[in-house]
Amino acid sequence: MTIRYDGRVAVVTGGGNGLGRDYCLHLAQRGAKVVVNDLGGSGAGQGASHAAADKVVDEIRAAGGEAVASHDSVATREGGAAVIEAAVKSFGRVDIVINNAGFLRNNRFEDLTDEQIDAVLGVHLKGAFYVTQPAYRVMKDQGYGRILFTASASGLFGHPWQANYAAAKAGLLGLMHVVSLEGERHGILANALLPTAHTRLAAEMHEGWMEATNVSKFLGEIDFATLAPNMGVEHNTPLALYLVSERCRSTHAAYSAVAGRYAHVFIGSADGWSNGVGRLATPEEVEAHWGEITDRGRYHLPHSVYEEFLPATERVKAGSR
Ligand code: NAI
């Protein structure tokens, strides 16, 4: 165990079940002092109970580790502040935040209610703001921090009946991009994780989404029999733990874990097409050059808005020739 967290304080939201619980247990085992935050509701975010967080804290203490429970909801400004306060009061600092709390309220796009939209954006996206802002201030003063946002393949690649959830999860990617750019000079690194695991959230998927046969037809092609032994939460933990370690150099990036396969997930911009300087393109020209506009043979991975301008300028110059 060369990757350790001795002297480090980790906050894991939604740490009472599933993925978050496993992160907590392994962080503590490797020396971190852990704040196990969990509201303790159902997989659809209904109800609340202290039991989920308390049980994980008991497990950590029984194994000789240090942990405290937080039963606050990440989905309110006060709740997020209280989670970070628990870390500072109990352990004096915050080195690691894993934004992981969340639930599902799936529905067909046209039927999504305000309540389903607000609750899901509230816990995943706004919750990440409410927890990470106070943590970031502490990390900035310390000159050190590791932040992990739990995104989802649903947000980056799409999943029917999850427009609310996918929008929240894709939103976390935007949040990660900006936090990582601003945080870098303060020693704060931020990344996003797209996990996959068989957890209680599976019961909230609702089979109705399979009416989208353009997606569900691919289910039959997946070799679930081979992957089954790797679908536990523990196959996500090695990547999550690396990304919040002192040794991690990555920032401003997203990584996917699927059944023990770990991979960088990235958004690129194709080299594209340009008509050149001072020559306004017509919609017909856009149609005519669609092949070049969408050609992924040459692409760029801009690190910020402005870095997209550099290759774009080359293309505009080339269009003039
Ligand atoms: P889970 O239901 O086992 O764990 C989520 C935990 O968050 C629960 O213990 C729940 O009580 C807690 N929570 C919910 N609302 C909260 C709130 N307002 N404040 C504090 N805690 C709250 O689910 P799982 O599967 O472990 O999910 C963890 C994260 O990973 C979620 O953000 C989920 O969207 C994400 N994810 C999971 C995938 C999977 O395949 N299981 C795939 C992609 C993303």
Q: Which pLDDT score, from 0 to 100, does residue 321 have? A: 87
Compute, in angstroms, the gap from residue 272 CA to the centroid of ligand 1.
39
User: Using CA positions, which residue lies closest to atom 6 of ligand 1?
Assistant: 14
Q: Which pLDDT score, from 0 to 100, does residue 99 have? A: 99
Q: Which pLDDT score, from 0 to 100, does residue 299 have? A: 96
Q: Does any ligand 1 atom lie closer than 6 A to the CB of residue 134?
A: no
User: Using CA positions, which residue lies closest to atom 19 of ligand 1?
Assistant: 73
Mean pLDDT of 81-89: 98
The residue extents of the domains of the chain are: 9-265, 269-320
Mean pLDDT of 151-163: 98
pLDDT tens-digit series, residues 112-151: 999 999 999 999 999 999 999 999 999 999 999 999 999 9
Q: Are residues 98 and 240 in contact, defined by beta-carbon separation less than 8 angstroms?
A: yes
- Residues acting as catalytic residues: 165
Axis crossing angle, helix 127-142 with helix 163-183, rounded to the nearest 10: 10
Q: Amino acid letter at 320?
A: S
End-to-end, the C-alpha distance of the chain in Å comes to 58
Q: Are strands 33-37 and 66-70 parallel, antiparallel or unpaired?
A: parallel
pLDDT tens-digit series, residues 6-63: 999 999 999 999 999 999 999 999 999 999 999 999 999 999 999 999 999 999 999 9
* Torsions phi, psi for 190 (to 5 deg): -135, 135
Instruction: Say if residue 281's pLDDT is above 90.
Output: yes
* Torsions phi, psi for 65 (to 5 deg): -95, 180
Mean pLDDT of 241-267: 98
Q: Are residues 257 and 196 in contact, defined by beta-carbon separation less than 8 angstroms?
A: yes
Compute, in angstroms, the gap from residue 102 CA to the centroid of ligand 1.
4
Q: Which pLDDT score, from 0 to 100, does residue 63 have? A: 98
Mean pLDDT of 238-251: 98
pLDDT tens-digit series, residues 259-272: 999 999 999 999 99
Q: Does any ligand 1 atom lie closer than 6 A to the CB of residue 199?
A: yes
9-265 classified as CATH 3.40.50.720: yes
Instruction: Say if residue 111's pLDDT is above 90.
Output: yes
Q: Are residues 200 and 18 in contact, defined by beta-carbon separation less than 8 angstroms?
A: yes
Average pLDDT of the chain to the nearest whole number: 97
Mean pLDDT of 249-278: 97
Instruction: Say if residue 73's pLDDT is above 90.
Output: yes
Q: Are residues 3 and 247 in contact, defined by beta-carbon separation less than 8 angstroms?
A: yes
Q: Coil, strand or helix: which one is 249?
A: coil
User: Using CA positions, which residue lies closest to atom 2 of ligand 1?
Assistant: 43
Q: Are residues 66 and 59 in contact, defined by beta-carbon separation less than 8 angstroms?
A: no
Q: What is the CATH number of domain 269-320?
A: 1.10.287
Q: Residue 300 belongs to what H/E stretch?
A: strand 299-300
CA distance 279 to 296: 24
Compute, in angstroms, the gap from residue 161 CA to the centroid of ligand 1.
18
CA distance 80 to 73: 7
DSSP string of 129-191? HHHHHHHHHHHHHHT-EEEEEE--HHHHH--TT-HHHHHHHHHHHHHHHHHHHHHGGGTEEEE
User: Using CA positions, which residue lies closest to atom 42 of ligand 1?
Assistant: 196
Which residue of 12, 19, 76 sits with most ligand 1 atoms within 8 Å of its CB, as the best mutation to test the pocket? 19
DSSP 8-state assignment for residue 66? E
CA distance 287 to 307: 26
